[in-house]
Structure 1
Amino acid sequence: MTMAMPALPVRILGTGEHIPHEQVSSAALDKRWGKPAGWTARHSGIDHRHFAGAGETTSSMAASAAIGALAAAGLEAGELDCIVSACSVPEQAIPCTAVLVQRELGLHDSGIAAFDVNATCLSFLAALDMLTAAIAVGRYQRVLLVSSEVASAGLPWHDPATAMLFGDGAGAVVLGRADDSETGVLGSHFQTFSAGAELCRVRSGGTRVRPAEGMDAFMQGAHFEMRGPATYRMAALRLPAFLRQLFERANVTLERLACIVPHQASVKGLAHLEAALRLPADLLVRRLHERGNQLAASIPVALHHAVISGRLKRGQLVALVGSGAGLSFGGSVLRY
C-alpha cells in the first residue's frame, strides 16, 4: 500500500499565460492537407490552436506569461530568488532557457539563480515537485516556474494525425512558502516505464544524431515522432493504478477535489481519464479545444484558466496530472 505523504507548506502566489499571436483553425489545416471540411476538428477535438509568430521565442513567451504571474502575485521580478524553465524542448542547447528568460525579464545583472528542468510533457510537474521540497526546507522563498513551448517548430507536417494535435504557448506560476494551513502540496507521485522510450521522441538536438555525420539524418531526426495508438494503449493500461497511488499519497478522494487539471494530450486521452475515474463531466479542466496539446505548458495554462475563471478558489483541492514521453506519469495534489 502506498503511504500518505506529509503536506508541504507551499503556495501558488500567482499564475499567468501567454497566447501566441497566430491563431490557426482546424478548418485551415483541412485545406492544408486537402481533407474534407471538418476532418481535423472531428479527429482532434480542437477548434483552433495558436502558433508562435515572428519575434515570439520560447523565452519571450515565457517572460510574457511570467509578467502576468508576477502581477497576480503582487511581486516585482527582482523579488524572485530563483527562475526555473520547465519545457519539453529548450530554445537552444546552451545556455539553458531559464537564462534567456531571466534576460527577457530585465534581470541580466541580478544574479538570480536560473536553471532548466526537463521531463518532456511532465516538465512542469517535475519542476513543481522539486521546487516544493526546496521551498519547504527554506532553500528558496519566491520562485518563478515557467513552461513555454514552440511545438510548431518541429511538427511532422507530412503526418496530419500527429501534427493536428499541437499548439504553442506558455504558462507560468510564482511559488512561495505558505504561512497558513489553508494552502499546501498534499502529495506527489511519478512513474516511468522506459519500455515506451521509442513511442514519442525527437532524436536530433542532443549528441546521439550528429550534424557532422550527415545533415540528412540530422534533419530527419529533428521532427517529432509519435506512435500514437501504441502510446495511447500503454498509457491507458498504466494510468488507473498510477492515479490510485497518487491519491493515496495525498490522502484524498475524488469527491474532495474541486477540479482536475490534466495534461491536454488529446481528446481521446481526456475521455479515457474521465472514464477511468468515472468523473463528473465538469471535473476536468479542458483547454484542448482552443489551445491544442501545448506539451509541458498544457498544465500551467489550464491551471491559469481554472484560477481566472473561478473554477478553482483559495482553499480548494486540485489535482494536476499528466503523462509524457518516457513513458512517464506524474501528478500533484495541492490545496490552492
Structure 2
Amino acid sequence: MIEPRIALVGAGWVVRNVWAPLLVQHNAHIVSVIDPQTDASTAFPAMSPGPRWHRCMSDQALHNCNLALICSPNVHHVQQALRAMGQGLHVILEKPACLSSADAEQLIRCSRETGAELLVSAAAAHRSDVRAMAAARGALGTLHCIDVSWRRRRGVPRPGSWFTQASQALAGSGADLGWHLLEVALHALDYPLIDAALCNHVPATADEAQQQATWRGDQGPGGAIEVESQSFSCLQARGGTLVRMSTAWASHQEHDETRITLYGSAGELCLRTTFGFSQNRIQQPSLTLTVDGTQTSLAFAAEDNLAPYRDFLGSRIASLGTCAQTREHEYRKLRSLASAMSALYPHLTPSCTARPGH
C-alpha cells in the first residue's frame, strides 16, 4: 500500500465537505490544493501542516504528490488527468470523468503507458441499497430494460457558477446526476458500450436560477443556467437492453427522489431512495422484488451520506498500483460510461472536451 500524498485539484463544496475529511481519515496527507479561487488558500485551516496552494496545475503544484483527486470544472478533467498521470501520479477523477469515448481512450492509453492508476469516483455503486440491489440481480433472469431517474425538487448547483456555464460544465443534469445513475445501470449490465441514444435535454427556465441546492450553503441571488436543467433519454446498450433515464435539478415533485427499476424475464426489482446530500429526502427508502405478482421487501443497512464515499476510498486506496484486475475493470467502466455520454451529448467532440488544464 502506498502512503497517499494528495494533490486536490479543485476546492469546491464536495472537496471541502466530503473528499478532504475522508482522505484524512484514511491517513492521506494533503500536500497541495490547486484552485484559482483565492479562498482555496484557506479552505482547510484545521490541517497541520497546511497544504500548499496553487492557482493552476504545474510541476511545482504536483511536486511530492503521488495521487491527484480531480474535482475541477468538467472541461479540465481530461487534460489535468493526463498531466498528472504523465508525472507519475495515480488519478481519481470525479464525475463526469469525460464526455466522449475518444477522451476515454486517451485517458486509458496514458494510464497504460505511464503505469499510473486511473480511477473514476463511484460512490453510487458503494451504497448499501445499491449493493443489496446488485445482490438480488440474479433473481431477475435476463434484463430487458432498466429505468433510472434522479429528480430534485429544488437542487440547482450554484446557479451562475461553472456548474451552469456551458463553457465549463459542458453539460447539465444529464451528466451531473445522470453519471451516478448510469454507473448503477451499466454496472448491472457488466458495463457494455452504448450504441445509440434518443434524448430531450430541456433548457432551464428563468425562475430555476432561484431554485438552488440549499444544502450546499451557496450564497447569492443566482445567475444564468446555460446547460440543461432536465434531461430525458433512452439509451440502447450493446446486446439490446434499454436504459431509460430522467434527471432534473428542479422539478414539481415533493421530494428529491432517486428511483431505479430493473425489468427482467423472471422478475422486477425497484429501489426508491435519494442519492446525494439533499435534506429533502425520501424518508423510508425501499427495495422491492416482484416475481409473478408477489412483492417482497428486501432489507439493506442504514448508513450516513458519507458512507459510500468512505467505502470507495477504503477499497481503492489500499490497492493503488497493485491490482491489474482492478485496473482493467476501471478501463471497462470508463469506456462504458463515456460511450453513454457520447451518445447523450454527440455535439461535444473531443476537441471541445480536451482543453488545457488550469
Q: Same fold by TM-score, threshold 0.5 exceeded?
A: no
TM-score bracket for this pair, using the shorter chain length: 0.3 to 0.5
* TM-score between the two structures when normalised by the length of structure 1: 0.32
More relative contact order in 1 or in 2 (CA 8 Å, sep 6+)? Answer: 1
* TM-score between the two structures when normalised by the length of structure 2: 0.31
